[in-house]
Amino acid sequence: MPKTIACLHAHHSNIEVIEKMLSSHQAELIHFVEPGFDRQKADAHFKPEFIQSKLANTMSWISSCHVDAILVTCTFFTAHLPLNDLSVPIIKIDELLFTQLKAEKNPVILAFTNPQTVDGTMQALAKFDSSIEAKSHLIPNTFHLIMNGKKQEYLDVVSQGLAELTKAYPDHRVYAAQLSMVDAAVVAREVDGVEVGHYGELVGERSSKRQQP
């Protein structure tokens, strides 16, 4: 019987990406979108305890919706998830990437567009495996584009930024560290001929294996 996977996103644009990645798997995908975190990030109450409380309530609600697993696709969410005793397994999308990084022979650059995601992801990576040689790079002034629905503009700017980053660090392996950057990484590879790792190469097979209760 097909499994039901709940997908928690920060923006609706990630729904299409995940649907494509898991299209070959016999799983029902239920999507939950919570864009409010980005909208409240400048508010005085937007502190770690507030974020964790909100995420705890959200995850509890999703787990009650008759699902077999929860895939958290936003790296900001995964960095702030509280330790909850939920009845279903949680798949953190960045841990799929971290597992891949362990196999890299060259030092790694993790590229981001969301400045709020950088520190949490790098700290999570250090906890996952402190021996992984990685540094972060923010492609500035881009994340607001995707959050405001300017997908093509975001795609153009981010793909160019990834291509420039790869050429500037030829001895490093560059990875697009957010799900929203998958299409841009593909364009950078197809148009500029540079190799950029991305979640589209990771999610399908591994999430299928790890979603088993």
Per-residue pLDDT at 21 exceeds 50: yes
The mean pLDDT value of the chain amounts to 88
Alpha-carbon dihedral 154, 115, 89, 203, rounded to 10 degrees: 40
Residue 38, pLDDT score = 80
**Which stretches within 148-200 are classed as H helix?**
151-168, 182-192
Supply the pLDDT for residue 147: 86
Question: What confidence tens digit (pLDDT) does each residue in 83-132 have?
Answer: 777 889 999 989 889 998 998 889 999 999 999 889 989 999 999 999 99
CA neighbor of 143 nearest in space, from 110, 111, 186, 188? 111
Do the Cβ atoms of 114 and 37 come closer than 8 Å?
no
Residue 210 has pLDDT above 50, yes or no: no
Task: Indicate yes or no: pTM above 0.85.
Answer: no
| Residue ranges of domains in the chain, CATH in brackets | 3-93 (3.40.50.1860), 95-200 (3.40.50.1860)
Structure confidence by residue, pLDDT tens digits, 124-142: 999 999 999 999 999 999 9
pLDDT given for residue 196 in this prediction: 93
CA distance 20 to 81: 26
- Only one residue has tokens 């500029």, namely 192
Average pLDDT of the residues in 167-181: 93
